[in-house]
């Protein structure tokens, strides 16, 4: 039996170099490549002007667009086969108008909610942000099959809950003993306002204790001059290889996730898989759930310094608690997605 056609619609930007496509977001690469083993996957996304070659996407059918009109046209071109199903990843203006087309043509549509758009839009646009997002949210979830990374993201009716993860045997095996001579903080992620990374560098500038703060994925030109000149802060480019990324976790002793909004951040499980404690701020304390080894700080220098000091002093005991966690794996996540999309 041949595989079903699955069109994945994503707002993220992709770079094309000759006939090869690259992305920054690991989600695009992993979801499309893994689902292509069970479906005939066609990815539709936006084009990036940057010549970034971070993560190569191993997929045959990819269409990228520089504007909303060509974006929608690429979607219409997939209407030739009636049995095609559609997966919208996150709600944005581009995916909102995509859904309008899909709804009008009565296409079977799934929408995957990875985080709270209400909170993200507030962090970006202020008080008007949640209003704009809520309008799009109401339309897109009206008749869609909703998949969410956490139950709180969609509570109006039953949705499919999944556990996003990039963990495999490489992450879970051969953990290294950390150095705890000084706090060695780590952040892995993109440089966006809603991720809280810019405010975090300001807080680190105010902390008096000796520490090292590594930002993986950081672009120094996006930060203030003080952050760049701070001898405590080190910037590293995105890591394309799992082994390289694991090495950053192993060389740190505390992972810090400064986001203003999150649902199920995969970096959190990556840190716990390497038996490294995590610090988050009060905005996202709902993500803790039943995980051990996550600590909540207030978003100021004094509170963060106290939290770091507590972790370093109690490090061995905290690591024992972390080992009791049952973490989701990438294999489990893709199996969940496959079962839902075939339902």
Handedness of CA 297, 26, 252, 231 (dihedral sign): negative
Percentage above 90 pLDDT, the chain: 52
* Whether 120 and 49 share a structural domain: yes
- Lowest average pLDDT, out of 43-57, 192-206, 226-240, goes to 226-240
Compute the average pLDDT of residues 311-317.
97
Q: What pLDDT does 81 receive?
A: 78
Q: What confidence tens digit (pLDDT) does each residue in 94-136 have?
A: 999 999 999 999 999 999 988 777 777 777 778 888 888 889 9
- DSSP character string of 16-84: EETTEEEES-HHHHHHHHHHTTTEEEEEEEEE-SS---SEE---SEEEEESSHHHHHHHHHGGGGSTT-
Cβ within 8 Å of residue 60, ≥6 positions away: none
Q: Is the pLDDT of residue 23 over 70?
A: yes
Starting at the edge strand that comes first in sequence, how are the strands of the sheet with 233-236 ordered?
233-236, 212-216, 184-188, 254-257, 278-281, 294-297
Q: Is the pLDDT of residue 256 over 60?
A: yes
User: Using CB atoms within 10 A of its CB, is residue 249 exposed (0-12), middle (13-18) or buried (19+)?
Assistant: buried
Q: Is the pLDDT of residue 48 over 70?
A: yes
Q: How confident is the model at residue 237 (pLDDT cuts 50, 70, 90)?
A: confident
Q: What pLDDT does 38 receive?
A: 92
Q: How confident is the model at residue 221 (pLDDT cuts 50, 70, 90)?
A: low
Q: What confidence tens digit (pLDDT) does each residue in 272-310 have?
A: 999 999 999 998 898 898 899 999 999 999 999 999 999
* Whether 217 and 314 share a structural domain: yes
- How does DSSP classify residue 174? S
* Whether 159 and 177 share a structural domain: no
CA gap 323, 101 in Å, rounded: 47
Instruction: Return the CATH number at 190.
Output: 3.40.50.2000
- How does DSSP classify residue 179? P
Let me know how long the chain is.
343
Element (H, E) at 237: none
* Whether 145 and 104 share a structural domain: yes
201, 204, 234, 205: which is closest to 217 by C-alpha? 234
User: Looking at the 3D structure of the chain, how many domains does it have?
Assistant: 2
Q: Is the pLDDT of residue 146 over 70?
A: yes
Q: Is the pLDDT of residue 45 over 60?
A: yes
* Whether 337 and 318 share a structural domain: no
* Whether 250 and 150 share a structural domain: no
Q: What confidence tens digit (pLDDT) does each residue in 168-188 have?
A: 999 999 999 999 999 999 999
Q: What pLDDT does 1 receive?
A: 43
* Whether 154 and 255 share a structural domain: no
Is 316 or 193 the better-scoring residue by pLDDT? 316
Q: What pLDDT does 289 receive?
A: 86
Compute the average pLDDT of residues 182-207.
88
Q: Is the pLDDT of residue 228 over 90?
A: no
Q: Helix %, strand %, coil % for the chain, to 5? A: 40, 20, 35
CB contact at 8 A, 333 and 269:
no
Q: Which residue has the tokens 């988050």?
A: 280
Q: Is the pLDDT of residue 254 over 50?
A: yes
Q: What confidence tens digit (pLDDT) does each residue in 154-173 have?
A: 666 667 888 888 899 999 99
Mean pLDDT of the chain: 88
- Lowest average pLDDT, out of 47-61, 179-193, 238-252, goes to 47-61
165, 150, 189: which is closest to 270 by C-alpha? 165
Q: What pLDDT does 340 receive?
A: 94
* Whether 187 and 155 share a structural domain: no
* Whether 190 and 284 share a structural domain: yes
CA gap 244, 214 in Å, rounded: 14
* Whether 138 and 192 share a structural domain: no
* Whether 195 and 137 share a structural domain: no
* Whether 96 and 179 share a structural domain: no
Cβ within 8 Å of residue 163, ≥6 positions away: 149, 264, 328, 332, 333, 336
Q: Which domain holds residue 271?
A: 169-322
Token pair in block for residue 283: 């905005």
CA gap 181, 25 in Å, rounded: 33
């Amino acid at each position: 039996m041949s595989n079903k056609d699955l069109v994945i619609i994503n707002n993220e930007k992709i770079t094309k170099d000759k006939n090869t496509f690259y992305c920054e977001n690991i989600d695009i690469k992993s979801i499309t490549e893994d689902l292509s083993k069970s479906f005939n996957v066609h990815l539709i996304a936006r084009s990036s002007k940057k010549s970034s070659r971070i993560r190569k996407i191993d997929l045959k059918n990819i269409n990228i667009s520089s504007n909303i009109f060509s974006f929608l046209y690429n979607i219409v071109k997939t209407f030739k086969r009636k049995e095609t199903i559609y997966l919208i990843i996150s709600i944005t203006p581009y995916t909102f108008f995509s859904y309008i087309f899909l709804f009008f043509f009565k296409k079977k549509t799934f929408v995957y909610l990875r985080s709270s758009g209400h909170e993200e839009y507030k962090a970006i646009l202020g008080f008007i942000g949640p209003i704009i997002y809520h309008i799009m949210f109401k339309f897109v979830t009206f008749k869609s099959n909703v998949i969410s990374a956490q139950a709180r993201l969609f509570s109006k009716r039953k949705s499919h809950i999944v556990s996003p993860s990039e963990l495999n045997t490489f992450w879970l095996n051969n953990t290294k003993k950390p150095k705890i001579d000084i706090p060695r903080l780590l952040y892995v992620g993109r440089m966006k306002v809603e991720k809280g990374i810019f405010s975090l560098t300001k807080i680190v500038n105010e902390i008096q204790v000796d520490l090292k703060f590594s930002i993986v994925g950081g672009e120094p030109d996006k930060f203030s001059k003080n952050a760049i000149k701070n001898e405590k802060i080190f910037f590293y480019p995105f890591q394309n290889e799992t082994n390289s990324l694991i090495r950053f976790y192993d060389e740190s002793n505390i992972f810090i996730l400064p986001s203003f909004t999150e649902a199920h951040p995969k970096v959190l499980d990556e840190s716990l898989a390497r038996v490294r404690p995590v610090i988050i701020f009060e905005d996202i304390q709902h993500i803790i759930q039943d995980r051990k080894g996550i600590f909540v700080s207030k978003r100021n220098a004094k509170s963060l310094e106290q939290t770091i000091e507590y972790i370093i002093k109690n490090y061995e005991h905290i690591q024992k608690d972390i080992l009791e966690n049952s973490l989701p794996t990438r294999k489990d996540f893709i199996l969940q997605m496959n079962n839902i999309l075939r339902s």
